[in-house]
Amino acid sequence: MNQVRLTPTAVLAGVVALLAVLAAVFPFLFTGENPTDGGDTAALLSPSLQHWFGTDQIGRDVFARVVYGASHSLLAALVAVGVGLVVGTVLGLVAGTRPGALDDALMRVVDVLLSIPALLLSLTIVILLGFGTINAAIAVGVTSIALFARLARSQSVSIGRSDYVAAAYGTGGTYWNVLRRHILPNAVSPVLSLAVLQIGSAILQISTLGFLGYGTPPPTPEWGLVISEGRDYVATAWWITVLPGAVIMAVVMATHKIGSTLREATA
């Protein structure tokens, strides 16, 4: 494993990711505004010191909606990545350590998943499961199973051909013992690096589902929903869509940078 290079860009990415996590866990530290009720606040106020991201069409503070929306978007992204990580890694490890008919069958399932566009597959699953944050997260997670399975399989095949694995079997090691003590620990680092990279992709996919109306129902703040609610006011109140969109892109770029740094360290 190589040493992690803490470049200025990587440090900035870490700060952005940390702020996003803090906003998701402790939103009250960033704003005292109500994210679902504008009260007597005027609608469509432009960004100011009082309302950093302005107000939306019914007077709600957009910054507050973005801050409180972090918990829904990031939680959904973590659930999505967790589904893909666990299911995909299990399938990949089984396929890579059980060559033959089982490997072929599992990889054909993976090929089918890869052949279907991710958005189409996630939309289909959400329609079957029903709308909501967790259902959207599960749908997005299913679309990433194939990526984790492919990587886990390639790692397990490569590690399975190593001398120390052959020696472990030669000294009486069982399949499960060798898998637990030798293959899994050595295959997990690149898989976890991919998981960090996938967090950004999951945020984008979940925001897309929210934008299309298949995610968290209003008035609950969610990043994709916040942008969707302001799309009819782009010409007169650009801040409702542009500023939340900028936050999403900043978080996505930060997670990708962190994932890339970790992948270089584990290469």
Residue of 7 and 78 predicted with greater confidence:
78
- pLDDT category, 193, cuts 50, 70, 90? confident
pLDDT per position as a tens digit, 71-81? 999 999 999 99
pTM for the model? 0.89
Amino acid occupying residue 200: G
To the question of domain 52-266 being in CATH 1.10.3720.10, the answer is yes
Q: What would the mean pLDDT of 17-21 be, rounded to a whole number?
A: 95
What is the model's pLDDT at position 2? 59
- pLDDT category, 203, cuts 50, 70, 90? very high
Least confident of 105-119, 158-172, 222-236: 158-172
Q: Which positions ≥6 away from 62 have C-beta within 8 Å? A: 51, 53, 54, 55, 56, 226, 230, 239, 240, 243, 244
